[in-house]
Amino acid sequence: MPITIPSIGEKFPELNVVTTHGPMKLPDAFKGRWFILFSHPADFTPVCTTEFVSFAKHYDDFKKLNTELIGLSVDSDISHIEWVTWIERELKVKIPFPIIADPLGNVAKALGLIHAESGTATVRAVFIVDDKAVIRAILYYPLELGRNIPEILRMVRSLQLIDKYGAVMPANWPYNELIGENVLNPPPHNVEEAPKRLQQYKGYAWWLTYREIPKNEVEETKQIIRIRIE
């Protein structure tokens, strides 16, 4: 049976889940907030352990963005509890967010997260879901490569500013090679508006114009997405 992955722009599916913080119903548990659901292949594995430590160290940054975290793998609740206890005891890092236990794989299958190589392990994936329970971004990684947590923060922050200012974001924002800290304007969609763009904004062509957003928004972004290695 082919694996079906929810699409960007769709509502996050309704799921009843068991977690290390008790039973939850998604997405209702995070009503009015953004959330990141991220799956990992297995507890007690090296790459996943480093990811959980990094998510924990950046947890306050996610909270500043009105964003919650929730993990997922096909391990049992007992395994999750033992693993996060080990991380806190041995690595001195407390995991503050819930982890979904999915030993039957029902949640992973509903989200299209069963790994093709094994048929049972969850893939390393990320769903970014907004405060209206709409999926805004999906990321997939190979088993061997850990995620860049500041990039996930950058994506959440950028999506929120896109909503706020009606902008679109350039590559590497806020450190873009062409327009620096500025944001892009969506291209016009009619011939009447096209020639006006270079009169209204700076740019390289009518379809490639940019503008400023408040400096404090840019500086807050830079603070939020910095790497924390303490």
The reply to whether 163 belongs to the active site is no
Distance CA 69, CA 62 (A): 8
Distance CA 206, CA 98 (A): 47
Distance CA 71, CA 192 (A): 48
Give the residue carrying structure tokens 């996060």: 84
What contacts 90, CB < 8 A, 6 or more positions away? none
What contacts 143, CB < 8 A, 6 or more positions away? 41, 47, 115, 117, 123, 124
Give the residue carrying structure tokens 């830079």: 222
Catalytic residue chosen out of the listed positions 15, 18, 48, 183? 48
Which positions are catalytic?
48
